[in-house]
Amino acid sequence: SQKIEQNSEALNIQEGKTATLTCNYTNYSPAYLQWYRQDPGRGPVFLLLIRENEKEKRKERLKVTFDTTLKQSLFHITASQPADSATYLCALGNTGGFKTIFGAGTRLFVKA
Amino acid sequence: DAGVIQSPRHEVTEMGQEVTLRCKPISGHDYLFWYRQTMMRGLELLIYFNNNVPIDDSGMPEDRFSAKMPNASFSTLKIQPSEPRDSAVYFCASTRGGTGWATEAFFGQGTRLTVV
């Protein structure tokens, strides 16, 4: 069955450092991958989308890579800030369909 | 636009009771999704609609769950009868299709359901 794995353990980093979160998947060939941010008590908020034919995408301090051979995406936050502390979810989907499946998320704590 | 609006924000009900969750998608969005989020299972897709028509309900856990979308601006998720294991946060999300590529989904604030 399709499976998405994100680090279940929280990631603790110091302010100013680069945070790197991992999303691995199995039994799936996604056409796109998305990253969302979720704060406690709130719904997920979209951050970035990367398609299968794209290797890397950037948006301000965020960078996403997508390796369809390794079946892995890496999500980087450079110059991290305490305000970046949240849970980050990766999500996968296929062309022509809108059935997006989500990973369980990784909690990020950025210490001042 | 006010975003996706869900009601109620919190619901506490007794086992066996009927529960109805409501969602108003963003105007102009033609896809609507219902998700359930728990610590154990994360965010699970229950059902999604396109132009008010249910497209995929394979994630609906049991016949106790049903969803409707009578018009483009309103959807309900009903659980009857409710059970303690239905306790979770239920999210509604909407997006605009068009190109065939999934664009970003906009989520509501969620309804926290507790069945005692």
Measured between alpha carbons, how far is residue B90 from residues A28, B1, B40 in Å? 25, 21, 14
């999704």: which residue's tokens?
B33
Q: Do A43 and B43 touch (CB under 8 A)?
A: no
The per-residue pLDDT for A101 is: 86
Query: Does residue A78 register a pLDDT over 90?
Result: yes
Report d(CA B68, CA B75) in Å as an integer. 6
Who among B101, B105, B109 is closest to A42 (CB)? B109
Sorted by sequence, the CB contacts under 8 Å of residue A69 that are 6+ apart come out as none
B109: exposed, middle or buried (C-beta count within 10 Å: 0-12, 13-18, 19+)?
middle
* Tokens matching residue B5: 């609006």
Q: Where are the beta strands (DSSP E) in chain A?
A: 3-6, 11-14, 19-26, 32-38, 45-51, 56-59, 62-67, 72-77, 86-93, 101-102, 106-111
Residue A28 at interface with chain B, using a CB cutoff of 8 Å:
no
Tell if the CB–CB gap between A102 and B42 is shorter than 8 Å.
Answer: yes
Q: Is A78 helix (H, G, I), strand (E, B) or coil?
A: coil
* CB contacts, 8 Å: A44 with chain B: 43, 91, 105, 107
- List beta partners, residue A107: A87
* A31 min Cα distance to partner chain B (Å): 9
pLDDT for A54-76, tens place per residue? 999 999 999 999 999 999 999 99
| B32-71 tens-digit pLDDT | 999 999 988 889 999 999 999 999 999 998 899 999 999 9
Model confidence band, residue A3 (pLDDT cutoffs 50, 70, 90)? confident
**pLDDT band with cut points at 50, 70 and 90 for residue B99:** low
